[in-house]
Structure 1
Amino acid sequence: MTFQNASLILSGAFLLSASAIAQTPDYRADALYLLDLIDAEYAYAHRFDGRNPARGAQGVDPDSVTDPSSLLRFAECAVNALQDHHAVLGVSSPRSYGLTPSFNDLWVEFRDDVYVVTDVRAGSPAQAVGVTPGWRIASVAGLPIEEAVEGLCGGPYDTGAGKGFAARVLAAGPRDQARDFVFLDADGQAQALSLPNLYQVETEDRPLISVTEHEGVRVLRFNDSLGNGDLIAAIDEALSGARPDGLIIDLRDTPSGGDTLYARALMGRLIDDAKAYQRHALPQIERDTGVARQWVEEVLPRGDSLAGVPVVVLAGRWTGSMGEGLTLGLDAVADAVTIAAPMAGLLGAIYDYDLPHSGWTVKLPTETLYHVDGTPREAYRADIGLESADVRGPNGEDLALERAFEALGMESR
C-alpha cells in the first residue's frame, strides 16, 4: 500500500510581493462570498433542514478575517461545518487537517457513546502497528477525544454522524505532524501509539491496475488511479488477450476518486449497447424555481466487447467518489455482483468555485447522484454486505476476495 503526497499550495502563498500589498485582496469579502456560495450551490442542505450550518458555526466569523491566514481558518471551519468529506478547499497549509479518506487510514464512528474504529486501511501505518476494527479512541493529540471533537472548528457536532465526521478529521491529523493517540484495544487495555501522517509517508511506484489471473478469472485491482490520464490505455491492456471466464474489479483502494471518463472507459468494454449509468440532479434549481432538473448519464460500448462476462465488484471504506460511482455503474450496466462494506459515502459531484478576491478554489458537492434505480449513491448497499471489505483471516487471508471467487462459482483462493 502506498499513499500519494499532496502538494500544499498555500504554504508559500502568505508571502506577498510589494505590488500585491498595494492591492491587498478583500479577504473579508471572500469570507462573506463563501457563505453565500454555500447557500446557493451546496446540494445537500437538506441534511440540515435546508439551512447553511456554516453560519454561526465555531470559527466562522467574517469580522475576524483580515488576511490570508485568517481567511484560511475561516474557510476550513466553514467547510468543516458541512460535515461532508467531499467538500474541500483547493488551498491548504502544513497545519491543515488531512483529507478523508485519501489521507486517513482510520475510519472512526460514534457508536453507543464511544468513538470506535470501524475500519483500518489495508497496508497503512495504523494496520502495521496492529490497530484493528473495534478499538476505541480515548484521546487524540493529547486531548480526550470528546474534548477534541468539541474543540474542532465548524461545530457544534451534536449528532452521532457529526461526531463521527469530526473524529475522522482529527484522526487524519494536521499534515505536518505525527498523530498521537491513546486507543483502548479489544481487551480494554490502553495503547498509546504515534502514527506518521499519511502526507509524510514515502510513496512507491505502483501500476495503475494490478492484474492477476486464476483459472480464467481475471482480477483488476485499481491502485487509486481513477483520475490518471493513462488509465484508458491501462484498462485496455488489462482486458486484452483471451476472453476471461469472469472479472473481479477491485475498487477498495480508490479513495481519491477520479473522472467519469475513466469509469465509462471501463464500463464501455463490458456492454454491447448504450446503457444508463447513473442519475444526476441539481436540487438548487428546484429550490429556486420550483421546477426540478434531473438527467440520466449513459455509457456507450467501445472496443472489443466483453459483454456477458460475469463481473464481481469489491468496494469498501476507501472506495471514494468516482470509485463509488463506478461500483453503482457496474451494478447497473454489467449486472455485477457487488461485495462491499459501506463505502466512503462522498456526497454527490463536486464543482470548483473561485473566491473572487483571493482566487482560492472551493470544491462543493453541487449535483446529487443516484443509482439508475433512484437510490442515492451514499445510501447504496452492496449485494453482499460486509462490516469491513478488507477483513483478513488469521493468516492474512483476503476474505472479501475469497467471497468474490465464490460468487463466480470458484473455490476460495
Structure 2
Amino acid sequence: MVTFFLLIIYLAFISLGLPDSLLGVAWPAMQPEIGAAFESAGLLSMVVTGGTIVSSLVSGSLIERFGTGIVTFVSCLLTASALLGFSFAPSLFWLILLAIPLGLGAGAVDSGLNNYVANHYKAHHMSWLHCFWGVGATLGPIIMSYSMGTNDAWRDGYYTVSMLQFVLVFILLLTLPLWRIVAGKHQPQGMEELHTRNESTSGDEAAARKQGNPLQIKGVKFTLMAFLFYCGAEMTVGLWGASFLVGTRDLPLETAAVWVSMYYGGITVGRFITGFVTLKFNNLTLIRAGQMTAIAGAILLLLPLHPYLSLIGLVVIGLGLAPIFPCLLHETPARFGRAHSSRIMGYQMAVAYTGTTILPPLFGIVAAQISIGLFPVVILLFAVMMLLSSEKVNRILYKNGKSAV
C-alpha cells in the first residue's frame, strides 16, 4: 500500500510540473489570437505566482484542519479546472481570472506534498519527488509543441494537460481514505532520529508552540533566507544564463540555449542521483556539498577562462543546486518539530516563490543599467548568502543539541 501510495504522490508532482512551462511555449501563438500585448505573459505569470504565494502561506492551516488528502484533491481540482478554462478563454481578461485558481491550487499542492513526504518518507523520496517535478516540466512543452505542430492549436495543448490533471483528480478522490491510513502506519527508518532530535525543545520553541507562531522558533527566519537565495540563484541562472554566454563569451545563441538546457538537466539528474546518495549521507552533508559545488561553478563562470569552461560552470552549478532544495525541505520536521512543520513548509514555499519572482527580474534591471557581465558575481553572491544562512541555522540547532556540527 505504501509503495502504491508513493506512486500517486509522484504522479501528483508530475502534474504539478506540467503547467509550469506551458505559457512560455504557447504564448507566441496565444498572444495574437487573443489580441493581448506581448508583455502580458509577464502579467499572467505574476498572477499565477501571487496565487501560489498566498496558498503556500495558508496551506499549513488548511492541512491542519482538513488533512493533506483533502487539500491536495481540492487543489488539483482547481488547477485542472483552470487549465480547462485556459483552453476556452476568449480574452486576456479571462486568462487573468483563471490564473488565480491555477496559482492557488499549485501552491497548496506543493506545500502539502512536501510536508507529507518530509514527515512520512525517507530523504531519498524527497529528492526523487522533485526529480518527478522536472519530468512534468519537461513533458508540458512536449505536449504543447505537439499540439501546435499538428494544427497550430495551443488550446488543444491546454485541454490535453487539463484532462491529464482530471485523471489525477479522479485517482485522488478514490484514494482519499489512504492518506491517513498510510500516515498512521508508515514510520520509516529515521523517524527515531527525528524524534530524538526534537526531544530537546528550547524555551523559545516551547513559547512559539504556545503562541502558535512558528516564526518565533530559532533558526526559522534564517532557513527562509536560505530558500530565498536558493531560488534566486536557480532561476537567475535559468533566465539570464544564455544572455551572459552570448553577451560576454561570444557564443552562438543555439549553443547557449543547449547548455542552459543542460543546466536544468543537471538539476534533474542530480536529484535522481541524490536519492541514492542519501542512503549513505545525511541531509546536512548533502546540503553543504551542494552549496560548495554551486559556489565552485559560479567561480568557474567568474574567472576569465576559456568559454567552454563557463559552459561547464553552468552544469556544475546545476549539479550543486540539485540536492539543496529537497534536502532542506526534508529537514523541516527534524529541525523545527512536526507540530509546526506544515506551516513552516508553507512559509518556505512562499519565500521560495518570492525569490523566484523578485530576484531574477531585479538582476535584469541591474544588468540593463550596468552590464550582463555581473551575472557570475550575482550568482556567487546568492550562493554564498545561501551558505551563510544555512550554516547559521546549523549553529543555532547545534547549540540546542538538535544538529551535528
TM-score of Structure 1 vs Structure 2, range by shorter chain: under 0.3
Greater fraction of residues in strand: 1
* TM-score after normalising by structure 1: 0.26
Larger Rg, first or second structure (1 or 2)? 1
* TM-score after normalising by structure 2: 0.26
